[in-house]
Amino acid sequence: MSCFLICGALFVAAAYVYHEIIVKGKRCTSNVKLHGKTAIVTGSNTGIGKRTAVDLARRGARVIMACRSRERGEAAVSDVKKESGSSNVVFMPLDLSSLKSVRDFAENFLKSEPRLDLLINNAGVYSDGRTEDGFGMMFGVNHLGHFLLTNLLLPPLKESAPSRVINVSSAAHNVGLIDFDCLNKHRTLRLGSTTSDLVKIYAASKLCNVLFTHELHKRLQGTNVTCFSLHPGAINTEFDRNFPLSILIIFGLVRWFFFKTPEQGCQTTLHCALQPGLEPLSGRYFSNCTVRNVYAKARDDATAKKLWELSERMCGLQ
């Protein structure tokens, strides 16, 4: 009996320590203030994007919440204002599944905002389907929409330098593969819509983010605009809204214990955005607020360049 109690107590203590240290992870320790600075956070009406917006607003930044739904976006703006105590938070419509919407957003932004210090490419989807322009949904939103957005916003980023671009990628990029034949022929990363296909497409779209950061860094040499990609951790958000029920049930059991809260989940984004002195690490990939090495495929110069040029053609930048 007493052994049972002791073992039970040890187990609870171990679980507590595991949760406090491993699950919660490192926190952004920067106390940088952002008065007079402007930040865009895409997909910030929920999840880690919303927590990121609250933190940046608390530090005094003007925060542009770039979301696809006016209703959800405006509701989130009022929550972020309340939680941060700042009134310098605005909604601007941006649907990354439409290249026209990306162009309209950029035009709108360039017309009304004099500077841009932080661009946080946070929005992401896990879902089947096609974008307005006929691209695979995950390729279109997770990669191509952000590609165009970043390119259109480079002028104010350069003028406001030192400035940073942050790409919220995922550890899933490790299992991603980019099939250029499929991209050229079918404008998507992979055909098929089984769970296994979708996971592979998601992983490939996140590999695109890491490769882009690699290529963007080269193209930004000498500008004082730096860029970072990252894995935020496994986080309890709405991200699994399109997962099959069977997976959700298994997920439900583990996520309350093994997953971070959105507030814990935005720490690596904040670290990349705010930590002073990160400039020499531009182009690199982070997780748990720490720079990481990536596999060769995620820093391959030729693949990164090929993807960049294909993306330019796909969104009519050439």
Closer CB to ligand NAG, residue 84 or residue 213? 213
- Phi first, then psi: what are they for 77, rounded to 5°? -60, -45
Instruction: Check 126, 202, 285, 295 and give the catalytic one.
Output: 202
Considering only residues 45, 84, 213, 268, which one is a binding residue for ligand NAP as defined by CB under 6 A? 45
Instruction: Check whether the bond before 162 is cis (ω within 30° of 0).
Output: yes
Q: Does 237 bind ligand NAP (CB under 6 A)?
A: yes
For residues 192-211, which are near ligand NAP according to CB under 6 A? Answer: none
- Separation of alpha carbons 255 and 245, rounded Å: 14
Nearer to ligand NAP, 161 or 291 (CB): 291
Q: Under the criterion CB under 6 A, does residue 95 sit at the interface with ligand NAP?
A: yes
CB of 199 to ligand NAG, least distance (A): 18
With 0-12 / 13-18 / 19 or more C-beta atoms within 10 angstroms meaning exposed / middle / buried, residue 7 is: exposed
In the numeric block, which tokens belong to residue 100?
């026209």
Nearest to 238 by CA among 221, 253, 251, 257: 251
* Range in contact with ligand NAP (rule: CB under 6 A) among 4-12, 37-45, 281-289, 295-303: 37-45
Burial letters for 88-103: b for 16+ Cβ neighbours within 10 Å, e otherwise? Answer: ebbbbebbbbbbebbe
Residues in region 120-149 near ligand NAP by CB under 6 A? 122-125, 141
Q: In the chain, where do the E strands start and end?
A: 38-42, 62-67, 89-93, 118-121, 163-168, 225-231, 285-287, 290-292
With CB under 5 to 8 Å by kind, the binding choice for 125 among ligand NAP, ligand NAG, none is ligand NAP
Q: Which amino acid is present at 151?
A: N
Which neighbouring-strand residues pair with 189? Answer: none
Amino acid at 284: R
Asked if 122 and 42 count as a contact pair (C-beta separation under 8 A), the reply is: yes
Q: Which stretch binds ligand NAP (CB under 6 A): 91-99, 173-181, 277-285, 292-300?
A: 91-99
d(CA 26, CA 108) in angstroms, rounded, equals: 37
Residue of the chain from 28, 198, 216, 278 that contacts ligand NAG (CB under 6 A): 216
Determine whether 285 is an active site residue. Answer: no
| Smallest distance from ligand NAP to CB 273, Å | 14
Q: Out of ligand NAP, ligand NAG, none, which partner does residue 157 contact, by CB within 5 to 8 A per kind?
A: none
Residues that bind ligand NAP (CB under 6 A): 42-43, 45-49, 67-69, 72, 94-97, 122-125, 141, 168, 170, 231-232, 234-235, 237-239
* Residues taking part in catalysis: 202
The residues of the shown chain that bind ligand NAG, judged by CB under 6 A, are 21-22, 25-26, 121, 143, 146-147, 150, 161, 165, 167, 208-209, 212-213, 216, 222-224, 227, 229, 288
